[in-house]
């Protein structure tokens, strides 16, 4: 397994056809094939603010899962509507994005309280 054809192995799997024999299957892709299979335009990296917005949205959806089952869709649609209200913001308008992040975090803390059972909006 030290030969040159194992150095660039991308996937190694073990399988047993019988209890006494084990076979090693190696998928070997040469660097040129790997370059062809890799995406030409991978997704651009997200900025810190974009990551924070996505994290807040995910946290809203996680919080919705802690609510009673009959009101979960209300929390999920409320979160979606709140984010959709501000989708028009320019991604370079940092102060507005930071403001809405703080506002959303405060709202999330309020709605995450166990006493809040449903949301209308």
- Sequence ranges of the domains in the chain: 4-37, 48-111
* Residue 58: pLDDT band with limits 50, 70, 90: very high
Helix (H) or strand (E) holding 99: helix 94-111
Handedness of CA 51, 56, 57, 59 (dihedral sign): positive
Residue 120 is predicted with a pLDDT of 84
Of residues 76 and 35, more confidently modeled: 76
Question: Which among 21, 37, 39 is positioned nearest to 29, based on CA atoms?
Answer: 37
Residue 46 is predicted with a pLDDT of 86
pTM: 0.64
**65-110: per-residue pLDDT in tens?**
999 999 999 999 999 999 999 999 998 999 999 999 999 999 999 9
25 beta partners:
13
Q: Which tokens in the block code for residue 112?
A: 């995450």
d(CA 23, CA 2): 17
Number of CB atoms found within 10 A of residue 97's CB: 19
């Amino acid at each position: 397994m030290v030969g040159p054809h194992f150095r660039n192995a991308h996937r190694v799997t073990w399988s047993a056809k019988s209890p006494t024999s084990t076979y090693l299957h190696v998928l070997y892709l040469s660097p040129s094939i790997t370059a062809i299979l890799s995406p030409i335009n991978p997704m651009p990296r997200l900025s810190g603010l974009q990551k924070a917005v996505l994290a807040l949205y995910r946290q809203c959806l996680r919080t919705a899962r802690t609510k009673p089952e009959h009101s979960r869709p209300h929390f999920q649609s409320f979160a979606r509507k709140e984010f959709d209200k501000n989708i028009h913001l320019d991604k370079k308008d940092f102060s507005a994005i930071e403001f809405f992040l703080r506002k959303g975090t405060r709202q999330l803390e309020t709605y995450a309280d166990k006493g809040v059972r449903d949301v209308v909006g």
